[in-house]
Structure 1
Amino acid sequence: MAMGGALALAGLLALALLAAWALARDPFRLVQLVFAAQRVASGLRRRRCLAAGHRWVYAARAAADPQAPTLVLLHGFTGSKENWYPLARALGRRYHLLIPDLPGWGESERKPEAAYGFVEQAEHVAAFIAALSPARPVVLVGHSMGGGIAALVAARHPQQVAQVALLNAAGVRFRDNAFGLAVLAGENPFAVSDAASLRRYLATVFFDRRARPWIPWPFSAALIARRRRDAAFEQAVLERIGRGPDSLRPGEEAACIRQPVLLVWGRQDAVIDPSALELYAARLPQARQVLLDGCGHMSLMERPREVARALVAWIEDTPAAAG
């Protein structure tokens, strides 16, 4: 018995040393461990696929009803699939969920010479949908940058998208605010290089302090190091989606969308000003509009239950998506 206990202790010590060695090589593994725990708590499974020449990593969960609609959820600029986990929990097992890291972001493949603007990502997403839901159109939900991508996919590939929901979506020339003016001036107002800029970033994207994630050391240090490494990539993407010739393409092509549309915004959004909701609505007369008071840019994390209720009511009011 004593020998067995000693072996077990030795095994645990070896595992601890191995974990310490892995974390020393890549501190971001600490963050990934937290993400994995959140994914499991949300009842999601980590999956991989190949589409549009990229290796994708995505989270997935089957619905209780096999005939339920499939929702594809697209994250925003500097975001990842993990941003959607609070909403996934709020939705329960009502729908099939596919939540990818977009190519270039999170755990999905990034190619050094590839472009990752609205137009390129729209084609990537169309290929992802074709690979994972080839026989049935999906309900496409996009947040921020992902909203601009979703609008283009719905406009250009209507056979793949039954409905499209845009949450705090980029892709239109909204009323000037500090964030938008900084982007137009060539800056990356989302840049994170130290603890102060991380706090500033979180304060910008979250209005509701209660929903703002608490990121203690050493997780904050690992996240800051990752964002520093991604600085050049972030700047390159922002050149395309914030200042480039295709930066307003989602709003321009939104007028071609004929599917049912849901527009969700936070009234206190300091990133994509709520005037963007009005601009999208003017081009999408069929759109249902939801404006959340006391909510900033991260509506999917600040008000997941309210966003879930809006999605459910909208989907259930549209028989095409339900079957």
Structure 2
Amino acid sequence: MIDEPVLFCLHVLGGSARTWRPLAARLGPTVRCVAIDLPGFGDEAHRPGGDVAAMADHVAARIRTEAPPGPWLIAGNSMGAKVALALARRHEDGDPALAGLAGLVLLAGSTPSPEPMAEERRQAMIAWIDADPATRRREAEAFVAANVGAPLAPEDHARTVEDVLRANPQAWKAWLTGGANEDWRARIGTLSTPALVVSGAEDGDLGPEAQAALTLPHLARHRHEVMLGAGHLLPLERPDALAALIRDFLSAPPATTEAPTLTPAFAALMGSDRVNSRLRATLRERMREPDGPFCLDAEERATLEACLDRVLPQDGPGRIDLARRIDARLASGTGDGWRYASLPPDAEAYSRALRSLDAAARAAHGSAFAALDGASRDALLDCAAAGRLPAIPDGLASELMTCWFEELRGEAVRTWLAHPAGLAAIGFTGIGAGGDDADALPGYRLTGLNERESWEAPVLDTVGDVR
């Protein structure tokens, strides 16, 4: 836990330090927020703006004057997040002025790569910023409304519109033509600084799939949260939920990568008009890590994780947490509509089966199942599949372990394939068979063996052999 942390806050395009007032109020005395106006915006609107490096210089100078002697963090919303990533790289490269950086909070962040924005919309945003006052106000109102999942409180909406209107047009255009298009992927590389990444499910360009594909691969230690019903202006839309997430992040920064990533090609397909909005919302929901309730105890969950590592191995970073998802499903009481009549209800069957596996491991090896090497786990799972696992009083009967293990294997594969990262790994493109326009469904043109459309994502070798 970071004592008396300071959170330096960098705003969205067209925003200002005032953007962070609702979040700062919720964090209260436990976290001190220092909101910074970026060049060309807020009280710095007299400046012409600049590229990402120049904005990072501006923020670093402010941090040098206000950083506490202990650790501190940087939060960035959209444009501010790309600046925060640049500062994190400077910190990890040894910049003494940034030595205290201990974490990142990236909200609907602009990606290290050029932002995935349609050029037509970019040009429209550039055009109206220099228009007459009436047009600018009308477009600023529309800009704010389009970037939220639901209308803001009237005072927040009015203040945000005024921030857009007082932005320096030169800085506005500098970001849209320059900073947003800058490619920082090679310079950012992979950061070890712990990061909380939050995306809004209703965010068009920089939503969950863009974060998973374009930002998470640059973060070795991250936690990704998706906020349903929220758009792009997260500090204004969800200050209470964000404050809770930030407190949790401060208490327990992620030690390793927790969330799986998407390939850029699959993320682009998810966001395209080939996918209808209902399916896109469902896929985004499946990217969220379940936060409970759960029903397995700690030892049972560890046994399940160790079992799933053998049933469906996942290589490399960004693994789908199958055990967590299955545990949440068990606690919910939902299922696929059937089970073996000889088995007890799912939650009880899993609990008893996992206890049986662990007891067999301790009897044969003197260690918990989760502590065994792969070959030893495989041998016990082979016994379970064959109905030869020794019975224990509070476990499943030996013959029932065969039924349970069959169920487990099916659930592991279903859970993995339900996640967009699983679909991306096998190159599944069936999600792109139709959009919202029922009269103009795009479909497929190529149907020959091994033929792939130009828009189809390539197959990745990201999962091991399925047991």
- Tell me the TM-score normalized by structure 1: 0.66
Aligned partner (choices 143, 153, 160) of residue 87 of structure 2: 153
8 A contact 1:173–1:248 mirrored in 2: yes
CA distance in 2, matches of 1:197, 1:210: 17
The residue aligned with 1:239 is 177
Displacement, 1:253?
Answer: 3.6
The alignment yields a C-alpha RMSD, in angstroms, of: 3.1
Identity across the alignment (%)? 26
Q: Any residues of structure 2 matched to 1:1-323 within 5 Å, and which?
A: 67-108=3-44, 110-111=46-47, 116-133=50-67, 135-158=69-92, 159-173=99-113, 176=116, 178=118, 181-183=120-122, 185=123, 187-188=125-126, 191=129, 193-211=135-153, 213-215=156-158, 226=166, 230-243=168-181, 247-249=182-184, 251-278=185-212, 279-318=214-253
CA distance in 2, matches of 1:296, 1:190: 22
8 A contact 2:108–2:198 mirrored in 1: yes
CA distance in 1, matches of 2:25, 2:195: 23
CA distance in 1, matches of 2:10, 2:114: 21
8 A contact 1:104–1:111 mirrored in 2: yes
Q: 3-state SS of the aligned residue for 1:73?
A: strand
- Going from structure 1 to structure 2, the CA distance change for 1:226 and 1:152 (only over 3 Å counts) comes to closer
5+ residue gaps, structure 1, are: 1-65
CA distance in 1, matches of 2:252, 2:141: 40
- Going from structure 1 to structure 2, the CA distance change for 1:105 and 1:264 (only over 3 Å counts) comes to same
Select the structure of larger CA radius of gyration: 2
Q: 3-state SS of the aligned residue for 2:126?
A: coil
- Going from structure 1 to structure 2, the CA distance change for 1:160 and 1:298 (only over 3 Å counts) comes to same
8 A contact 1:70–1:139 mirrored in 2: yes
CA distance in 1, matches of 2:46, 2:207: 30
CA distance in 2, matches of 1:75, 1:281: 20
- Tell me the TM-score normalized by structure 2: 0.47
CA distance in 2, matches of 1:256, 1:319: 15
- Going from structure 1 to structure 2, the CA distance change for 1:190 and 1:101 (only over 3 Å counts) comes to farther
5+ residue gaps, structure 2, are: 93-98, 256-467
CA distance in 1, matches of 2:142, 2:197: 27
CA distance in 1, matches of 2:128, 2:207: 16
Q: 3-state SS of the aligned residue for 2:197?
A: strand
Displacement, 1:89?
Answer: 1.2
8 A contact 1:175–1:275 mirrored in 2: no
Displacement, 1:181?
Answer: 4.9
- The structure whose RCO (Cα within 8 Å, separation 6+) is larger is 1
Matched residue count:
242
